[in-house]
C-alpha cells in the first residue's frame, strides 16, 4: 500500500538533480558522488514510509536539504546530514553504519539531530532534553542547529496535515525556541517565516485579516515607495554609486506584535514597510564610510528622527548583522525606515552564519557570532540538572536584548538587558565576581545589584575576605554568574561534609562508642536528616549540640525510644518542602479527566464541578482562543493561546496540552480587565460605573483610577460572560464624554488576598 508510484519515483529522481542545482558548494565529482550515496540510502530507508499528508516520507529530507543549500547556503556535508537526519531515528540503520559509510563528522552531526530515545521522568520536558542535546553538539559544530532549523521550517510549512493540538504544540516550540534561535544565528528570512507560520496556527483569523489588509494596500504602498525613492535614486546616480533599492513590507507577525504592544489597529501602524538601499563596493574598509555617505545623501532630502538612528556598522549585532538604520519623515508626513547596507552585509543579514563564514575566510579576528558560540560552550560546562531551567536560562541569556558596557580601560563587553554590576564582575572573571563588594558606574559608587545601561563604564571593587552570598542569586541575570555562585556553595558544602564526617567519627571515638547502623538511625532521627550527607553537613556547619546528641543516642528505654522516633518523624515531616502549587490549581477530591486530544474538551456550565480551572495569569473568557494544560494533579488549566506562560507550557510539555472549546455560558461569569484614560471631568468615573452596573448589568470586582494634570487613567476588573459582551461594553464606554481610550488588558494577574 505504501509502495511508491512510477510518478513519485520519477519526481524523486528529479529532486536529486534539483538539490545539486541549488547547492553552489557541491561542484566536484567527489561531492556529487557523496550526495548521491546519501540520497540513495535515504530513499531506500524511507521507501515504505509516508507522511501524515500521504506524500512519500523521502519528500521531507529532500526539502530540508534544499533549504540547507538554497536558503542557508550550506555545503556537501550538511546536505548529506540533512538527507539522513531521520534515518537513525526512524529506520533500522544505525549510527555506526552511518559512521562507516560517511565518516565521524557526519555521524556526530546526525547524532546531535537524533531525538533522545530514552524515557525520561514525566516531570521533565523531552523537548528540553532534545534541545540540550543539540546544544552539546553545537559547541563543536554549528551545522547541527542550522540543519535543525531547516527541518523545523519544512515541518512548519507542512503543518496542516497534523491534528490541531499537535499544530499548537509545534508552533509554541517554534516561537519559544527556534524563531529566536534563527534570529540569533542571523537567519532573518527563516526567522520571519517561522514567526508568520506560528501566527497562522495560533491566530488564524488575525493572520488572514492582516494578510488581506496588506494585499489590499500593496498597490498604494508601491506607489508611495516609488515616490519616496525617486529623489534618493537621483542623488545616488549623481554620486556614481552602484546600488539597488527595494521596499520591504513588515512581516505579518511583526505587525501583529506591534498592534498588541501599542494597543492600536492595523491602520495606526505607521511603519508598515522599510526602504532598503544595498550598495556595491570593493573591500570592507570602504563599507563603513559608504554607509555614512549614503546616510548623508538621504538625510539631505528627508528629515531624520534623531532617536531612531541605529548604527550596527560600528558595533555589529551579536549575530553578525551589520547595517545603518534611520527613520525619516517622507512625503505626506509619513515616517519611513531606511536601511543602508553593502552586498556583503545584505547576504549575511539574510543567510546568517553560512554567509558570515564565507566572507570571514581565513581571517583571525573573532566575530561576535563566534563569541556567542563560546558562551554556549561555557553554559554547557556546568549544565543544570533540570532541563527546563537550563532551557529557560539559555533563552533568557542568549536571546535577550543586549546592552553594551565598558571596562575602566575602555574594553567593550556585551551583557543581556537587565544585567547588574555583579553580572559584569563575573563576566570579567569568576574570581572578581566571588570577591566583589561594590562597583563604580561612570565613576559613581553603586551596589552590586545596580542594573546597568548601555554605555556605562564599570569598575568592580573587590576584597579578599569577601565571599559569595546566597542572596546574590537574586541579584544576577546571567547564567555564568548564577552557575559560579552555585558552584561556590557546592564546593563549600563538600568541604563541610568532609569536616562533619571527621568530627562525628572523632567525637564517638572519644566515648568509645562505635558508629553502627542503629546509632546512625538514632542520630539522623534526632537531627531530622534524611541522608548521611545531610547529617555530615549539619555537623560541619556547626548546627549540632553534641552534648544533647550523645544523650539522645544513649537512651536505653525502648518505649521512650519509640515515642522519640515518632516525634522526630513528625518534626521531619513538618520540615519537608511543600510542593509548589500554581495559584490557579483547585484543591479537593476531583475525578480526573481522560482527555481525547482529537476531540476538544468542552468548557460547559458545570465548570466548577469538573477538574477544570481558569488560569489566573491570563484570565481567559469565552470567545478567547484557548488551550488546556493537564497539571500533575490531573487538573485541566485553561490558558489563552497567546499567554506567555501557555507558550512555555506548549513548547516544554506539549504532551500535556489538549484542545478545548467554549460552549454557551448562561450562568458563569469570568474575570476581565479593561484599561482606560481620558479627561478628568467631574462625574466621569460615576458615569462609567453607572453604565457598567446599571445599563449593562455587569458586576465589577475592583476599580482603580489615578488623576493628574487634568487626565485620569486606571483600570476596572469586572465579570463578563464572553468576549462579545466585553466588546459591547468597551464600545459603549468609548462613547462616554471625556473618554479617550478603552482597551482590554490581555494578560494580567488577579490580585489575590
Instruction: Report residue 230 CA to chain centroid gap.
Output: 41
The dihedral through the CA atoms of 146, 147, 150, 155 has a sign that is negative
Neighbours of 635 (CB within 10 A): 21
Angle at 283 (CA atoms; ends 281, 288), nearest 5 degrees: 70
Whole-angstrom CA distances from 446 to 367, 460, 478, 481, 667 are 32, 10, 19, 18, 56
Closest CA to 61 of 358, 78, 252, 435: 78
Q: Compute the distance between CA of residue 579 and CA of residue 632 in angstroms, rounded to an integer.
A: 11
Q: Compute the distance between CA of residue 339 and CA of residue 274 in angstroms, rounded to an integer.
A: 7
Largest CA distance in the chain: 105
Dihedral pair phi/psi, residue 52, rounded to 5°: -60, -30
Beta bridge partners of 706: 713
The string of DSSP letters for 107-176 reads HHHHHHHSPP-SPPPTTS-HHHHHHHHHHHHHTT-THHHHHHHHHHHHHHHTGGGS-HHHHHHHHHHIII
Active-site annotation, residues? 89-90
The cell for 412 is 567593550
Q: Compute the distance between CA of residue 658 and CA of residue 256 in angstroms, rounded to an integer.
A: 25
Strand pairing of 636-640 and 612-614? parallel
The string of DSSP letters for 524-566 reads HHHHT-SSHHHHHHHHHTT---HHHHHHHHT---HHHHHHHHH
Collapsing DSSP to helix, strand or coil, 613 comes out as strand
Contacts of 491 (CB under 8 A, 6+ apart): none
Q: Compute the distance between CA of residue 692 and CA of residue 461 in angstroms, rounded to an integer.
A: 58
| Lookup result for grid cell 463578563 | 720
Residue 336 host element (H or E): strand 335-342
Judging by beta carbons within 10 Å of its beta carbon (0-12, 13-18, 19+), is residue 13 exposed, middle or buried? exposed
Q: Compute the distance between CA of residue 306 and CA of residue 327 in angstroms, rounded to an integer.
A: 8
Alpha helices in 46-125 (DSSP H): 59-66, 76-84, 87-90, 95-102, 104-113
Q: Compute the distance between CA of residue 433 and CA of residue 448 in angstroms, rounded to an integer.
A: 10
Closest CA to 371 of 417, 412, 341: 412
Amino acid at each position: 500500500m505504501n509502495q511508491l508510484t512510477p510518478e513519485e519515483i520519477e519526481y524523486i529522481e528529479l529532486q536529486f538533480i534539483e538539490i545539486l542545482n541549488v547547492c553552489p558548494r557541491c561542484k566536484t565529482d567527489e561531492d556529487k558522488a557523496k550526495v548521491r550515496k546519501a540520497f540513495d540510502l535515504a530513499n531506500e530507508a524511507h521507501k515504505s514510509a509516508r507522511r501524515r499528508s500521504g506524500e512519500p516520507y523521502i519528500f521531507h529530507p529532500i526539502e530540508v536539504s534544499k533549504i540547507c543549500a538554497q536558503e542557508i547556503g550550506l555545503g556537501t556535508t550538511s546536505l548529506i546530514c540533512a538527507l539522513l537526519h531521520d534515518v537513525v531515528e526512524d529506520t533500522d540503520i544505525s549510527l555506526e553504519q552511518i559512521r562507516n559509510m560517511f565518516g565521524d563528522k557526519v555521524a556526530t552531526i546526525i547524532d546531535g539531530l537524533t531525538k533522545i530515545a530514552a524515557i525520561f521522568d514525566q516531570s521533565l520536558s523531552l523537548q528540553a532534553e532534545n534541545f540540550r542535546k543539540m546544544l552539546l553538539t553545537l559547541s563543536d559544530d554549528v551545522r547541527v542547529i542550522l540543519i535543525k532549523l531547516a527541518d523545523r521550517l519544512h515541518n512548519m510549512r507542512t503543518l496542516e496535515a497534523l491534528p490541531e493540538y499537535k499544530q499548537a504544540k509545534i508552533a509554541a516550540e517554534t516561537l519559544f525556541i527556534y524563531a529566536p534561535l534563527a534570529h540569533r544565528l542571523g537567519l532573518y528570512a527563516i526567522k520571519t517565516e517561522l514567526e508568520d507560520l506560528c501566527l497562522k496556527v495560533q491566530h488564524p483569523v488575525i493572520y488572514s485579516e492582516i494578510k488581506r489588509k496588506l494585499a489590499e494596500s500593496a498597490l498604494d504602498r508601491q506607489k508611495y515607495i516609488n515616490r519616496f525613492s525617486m529623489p534618493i535614486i537621483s542623488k545616488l546616480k549623481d554620486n556614481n554609486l552602484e546600488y539597488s533599492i527595494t521596499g520591504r513590507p513588515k512581516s505579518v507577525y511583526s505587525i501583529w506584535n506591534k498592534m498588541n504592544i501599542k494597543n492600536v489597529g492595523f491602520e495606526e501602524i505607521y511603519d508598515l514597510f522599510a526602504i532598503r538601499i544595498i550598495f556595491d563596493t570593493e573591500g570592507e574598509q570602504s563599507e563603513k564610510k559608504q554607509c555614512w555617505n549614503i546616510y548623508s545623501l538621504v538625510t539631505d532630502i528627508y528629515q531624520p528622527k534623531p532617536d531612531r538612528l541605529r548604527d550596527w556598522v560600528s558595533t555589529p549585532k551579536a549575530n553578525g548583522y551589520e547595517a545603518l538604520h534611520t527613520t525619516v519623515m517622507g512625503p505626506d508626513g509619513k515616517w519611513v525606515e531606511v536601511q543602508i547596507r553593502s552586498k556583503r552585509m545584505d547576504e549575511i543579514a539574510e543567510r546568517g552564519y553560512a554567509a558570515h563564514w564565507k566572507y570571514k575566510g581565513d581571517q583571525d579576528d573573532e566575530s561576535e557570532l563566534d563569541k556567542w558560540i563560546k558562551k554556549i560552550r561555557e553554559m554547557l560546562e556546568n549544565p543544570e540538572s533540570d532541563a527546563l531551567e537550563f532551557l529557560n536560562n539559555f533563552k533568557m541569556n542568549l536571546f535577550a536584548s543586549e546592552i553594551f558596557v565598558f571596562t575602566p580601560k575602555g574594553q567593550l563587553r556585551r551583557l543581556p538587558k537587565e544585567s547588574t554590576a555583579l553580572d559584569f564582575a563575573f563576566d570579567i572573571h569568576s574570581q572578581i565576581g566571588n570577591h566583589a563588594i561594590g562597583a563604580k558606574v561612570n565613576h559613581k559608587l553603586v551596589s552590586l545589584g545596580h542594573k546597568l545601561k548601555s554605555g556605562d563604564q564599570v569598575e568592580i571593587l573587590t576584597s579578599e575576605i569577601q565571599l559569595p552570598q546566597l542572596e546574590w542569586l537574586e541579584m544576577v541575570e546571567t547564567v555564568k554568574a548564577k552557575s559560579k555562585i552555585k558552584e561556590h556553595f557546592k564546593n563549600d558544602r563538600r568541604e563541610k561534609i568532609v569536616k562533619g564526617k571527621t568530627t562525628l567519627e572523632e567525637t564517638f571515638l572519644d566515648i568509645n562508642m562505635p558508629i553502627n547502623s542503629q546509632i546512625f538511625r538514632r542520630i539522623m532521627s534526632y537531627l531530622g536528616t534524611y541522608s548521611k550527607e545531610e547529617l555530615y553537613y549539619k555537623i560541619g556547619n556547626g548546627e549540632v549540640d553534641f552534648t544533647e546528641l550523645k544523650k539522645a543516642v544513649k537512651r536505653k528505654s525502648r518505649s521512650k525510644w519509640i515515642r522519640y522516633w515518632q516525634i522526630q518523624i513528625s518534626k521531619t515531616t513538618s520540615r519537608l518542602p511543600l510542593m509548589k502549587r500554581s495559584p490557579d490549581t483547585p484543591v479537593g477530591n476531583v475525578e480526573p479527566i481522560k482527555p481525547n486530544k482529537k476531540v476538544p474538551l468542552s468548557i460547559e456550565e458545570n465548570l466548577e464541578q469538573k477538574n477544570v480551572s481558569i488560569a489566573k495569569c491570563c484570565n481567559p473568557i469565552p470567545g478567547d482562543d484557548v488551550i488546556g494544560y493537564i497539571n500533575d494533579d490531573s487538573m485541566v488549566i485553561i490558558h489563552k493561546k497567546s499567554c506567555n506562560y501557555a507558550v512555555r507550557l506548549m513548547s516544554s510539555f506539549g504532551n500535556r496540552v489538549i484542545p478545548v472549546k467554549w460552549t454557551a455560558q448562561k450562568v458563569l461569569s469570568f474575570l476581565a480587565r479593561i484599561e482606560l484614560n481620558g479627561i478628568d471631568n467631574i462625574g466621569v468615573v460615576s458615569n462609567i460605573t453607572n453604565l457598567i452596573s446599571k445599563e449593562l448589568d455587569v458586576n465589577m470586582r475592583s476599580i482603580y483610577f489615578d488623576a493628574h494634570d487634568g487626565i485620569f487613567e486606571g483600570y476596572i476588573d469586572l465579570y463578563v460572560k464572553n468576549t462579545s459582551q466585553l466588546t459591547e461594553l468597551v464600545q459603549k464606554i468609548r462613547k462616554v464624554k471625556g473618554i479617550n481610550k478603552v482597551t482590554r488588558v490581555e494578560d494580567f494577574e488577579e490580585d489575590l488576598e
